Amino acid sequence: MKRTRQAHRTRLTREAEQLVRLATGLANSGSRTEDRFWEQRLAAQVEKMLKAGNEDAVGAAQEHLYSANMRACDELADALEAYCEGARISTAEGEFEVLLIAVPVLAWSRFVVPTGTVPSAALNDLRVHLQAHVLAAGTRLGLADSLFSIDQLPRGFCPTLALARDLWAVAAAGKNLRIDPRQMPETANFIADSRYLLGAVAAPPGGPHFRWQESDATRESVDAQWRAQGGQALPAALPACAFELLLPDAFFTACRNADRELRPYSLRAGAAFLQTSCNLEASALKVVLAPFQEHDLMEFRVSFAIDESGEVAHGVVWPLLEGETDAAAAAAEIEAVLREAGVGEILTLEQTFPFEYCDDCGAPLFPNATGEAVHVEAPEDGAGGSGHLH
Ligand SMILES: [Zn+2]
């Protein structure tokens, strides 16, 4: 997930300075032996600060390292994520190594891609398929009974840790965690979006969590099995949606993977949406794409038109993610996805636009063929579009 960067310099507290020092020591370490020295101290400092709910100081340390030392910034992120994701816990039934996981799904709908409580029969089916195809033998699974959108996932390390602790506890007992849907924030409605089932896996200390850690499986074989079998339970949780399952993994890795995979999926879904709602062939679609930039953030905005009017019927945002800086490579990737989807015309504008949004509704503006940033005008018979009446 993208970290939001503050434009101003935050003054570091003593605790944040300590994080910076330890992460920098680890980044510069010359041996595994020295690594362990720094890792232990960094983990202890992370634990102390997250237990105290000191999110702001952690964020300030990350912000500082982002411009001062990228490798140290990555080491700090690894230490923070590791502490929020995994732990060793003791229960009446013994010791477990617990790991927070996410099960990402990409979905699109002419109506609404749902969030919230998953029907209990569907949740139980998902549990059975996860244990049969994705998790290692002898593990226990705790599942939250909700589908989360990206803006319903816990924001920040301390809230992630709080949810992880609840899931670790139910994982050791092999139970589900009830999430009160009234506690979940409202989510923006997109035609195509990602959804997440969250859970935790409890394994005996030193044992594998995932099926691909066992000697007779690979990530590829698990991925294929999961895509083939895991989807059987989903139509009940995602009515009126087309969907694609991604490989479940540790929480942060799975979320990053979903961010990346959602981009081409949204382009394919956009083309499919216009084809079904306007009764067109993909070859009738005309696409314009251009880079939009603000400070160090860049995204491509991709416009779909269905006729010669120049009106934008649908728009998809393709953000450049953490570590991506090559705009030409992103444009080439977008063009390749669109060509594969059978889109008739693709125009890539040379100019870079500033981030522009509608003053009335806040929707992003999209480039048209004459090089202006304009509002999306959803086709009249297209359900799912919000319409543009202002
Ligand atoms: Zn508007």
Q: Which domains does the chain have, with CATH numbers?
A: 14-84 (no CATH), 92-258 (no CATH), 280-374 (3.10.20)
134 and 169 in contact (C-beta within 8 Å)? no
Which amino acid is it at 239? Answer: P
- pLDDT score at 309: 84
316 and 267 in contact (C-beta within 8 Å)? yes
Query: How would you class 346 by CB atoms within 10 Å of its CB: exposed for 0-12, middle for 13-18, buried for 19 or more?
Result: middle
- pLDDT score at 9: 58
Cα 296 to ligand 1 centre (Å): 25
Residue 384 pLDDT level (bands cut at 50, 70, 90): very low
Residue 3 pLDDT level (bands cut at 50, 70, 90): very low
Cα 312 to ligand 1 centre (Å): 13
Pairing of strands 94-108, 249-250: antiparallel
Cα 358 to ligand 1 centre (Å): 5
- pLDDT score at 107: 97
- pLDDT score at 255: 97
Cα 188 to ligand 1 centre (Å): 14
Cα 377 to ligand 1 centre (Å): 10
Greatest alpha-carbon pair distance for the chain in Å reads: 69
Cα 376 to ligand 1 centre (Å): 8
Cα 2 to ligand 1 centre (Å): 25
Cα 347 to ligand 1 centre (Å): 24
Strand partners, 86: 99
Cα 66 to ligand 1 centre (Å): 35
- pLDDT score at 10: 62
197 and 149 in contact (C-beta within 8 Å)? no
Query: How would you class 203 by CB atoms within 10 Å of its CB: exposed for 0-12, middle for 13-18, buried for 19 or more?
Result: buried
Cα 342 to ligand 1 centre (Å): 29
What's the average model confidence in pLDDT over 193-205? 98
What's the average model confidence in pLDDT over 369-374? 94
Q: Residue 283's CB: how many other CB atoms inside 10 A?
A: 11
- pLDDT score at 4: 47
- Joined together, the tokens standing for residue 194 give 């990602």
Q: Residue 341's CB: how many other CB atoms inside 10 A?
A: 18
Cα 362 to ligand 1 centre (Å): 6
> Looking at the predicted structure, is the pLDDT value of residue 30 above 50?
yes
- pLDDT score at 382: 47
Cα 386 to ligand 1 centre (Å): 9
> Looking at the predicted structure, is the pLDDT value of residue 8 above 70?
no
- Joined together, the tokens standing for residue 372 give 């202006």
CA distance 99 to 202: 7
Torsion (CA) 229, 230, 231, 232 in degrees, nearest 10: 70
Cα 390 to ligand 1 centre (Å): 6
Cα 361 to ligand 1 centre (Å): 4
The SS3 assignment for 262 reads helix
Residue 375 pLDDT level (bands cut at 50, 70, 90): very high
> Looking at the predicted structure, is the pLDDT value of residue 380 above 80?
no
Cα 279 to ligand 1 centre (Å): 26
Residue 11 pLDDT level (bands cut at 50, 70, 90): confident
pLDDT tens digit sequence for 216-252:
999 999 999 999 998 888 898 999 999 999 999 999 9
Cα 357 to ligand 1 centre (Å): 8
Q: Provide the total of helices (H) and of strands (E) in the chain, helices listed first.
A: 10, 15
Q: E strands along the chain, which residues?
A: 86-91, 94-108, 116-117, 140-148, 176-177, 192-203, 242-245, 249-250, 286-294, 297-305, 314-319, 345-348, 353-354, 366-367, 373-374
Mean of all residue pLDDT scores within the chain: 93
Of residues 108, 112, 89, 86, the one with CA closest to residue 99? 86
CA distance 194 to 26: 35
